[in-house]
Amino acid sequence: MSHHEKHVMILATNGFEQSELMKPKAILEKAGIGVDVVSPESGSIKGWGQKDWGESVKVDKTVDEVSNCEGYDALLLPGGQINPDLLRVNERAVAIVREFNAAGKPIAAICHAPWMLIEAGIVEGKTATSYHSIRTDLKNAGANVVDKEVAIDGNLITSRNPDDIPAFSKALVEKLGMTVNERELESA
């Protein structure tokens, strides 16, 4: 852990939507927030660009090296169709989502990532949004589903797709009591 006053965990695996990990990560870092990428895999994980495999990102810690969300102020879950589908069958990854929720810490999930919130059993009675194709899943899990760029309910922050990244990132930064430079959001 470095000297940043706030730390965010990005929980992801291979097939994360490239922009939904890289852009919020850059925005958080520019706001002075420390970011760790945590994954079931060690080494590095590969993103998914729009039509093919994209860039890799270094994994800072594996899910087994993290105990009870300690040292982290918030959790960020990027989407991509492949990534949350792999993560939601990893018991430790799902347990991490539950731990952040039990601690009342912000959890920001975009696109297909609300699948992880459903898997963790934490969306019932909450207002949330997601990628259009999984909204039925959210509704079936008891969420109040809305269609807007960012839905905030208690500690949960959800967004629909990569176009929502600026609003999504800004909501998380502000939830952590930090400020974000609007110009940096526009370039995201």
> Residue 70 burial by CB count (10 A; 0-12/13-18/19+): exposed, middle or buried?
exposed
Give residue limits of the domains in the chain.
7-186
pLDDT digits (tens, 9 = 90+) for 109-155: 999 999 999 999 999 999 999 999 999 999 999 999 999 999 999 99
At 3, the pLDDT band (50, 70, 90 cuts) reads: low
How many CB atoms sit inside 10 A of residue 4's CB?
15
Per the residue annotation, which of 7, 69, 111, 132 is the catalytic one? 111
Question: Is 111 tagged catalytic?
Answer: yes
pLDDT digits (tens, 9 = 90+) for 10-49: 999 999 999 999 999 999 999 999 999 999 999 999 999 9
CATH of 7-186, one of 3.40.50.880, 3.40.50.1780, 3.40.50.150, 3.20.20.30: 3.40.50.880
Per the residue annotation, which of 7, 69, 112, 132 is the catalytic one? 112
pLDDT digits (tens, 9 = 90+) for 40-79: 999 999 999 988 999 999 999 999 999 989 899 999 999 9
Exposure b/e, 26-54, CB count within 10 A at least 16 = b = ebbeebebbbbbbbbeeeebbbbeeeeeb
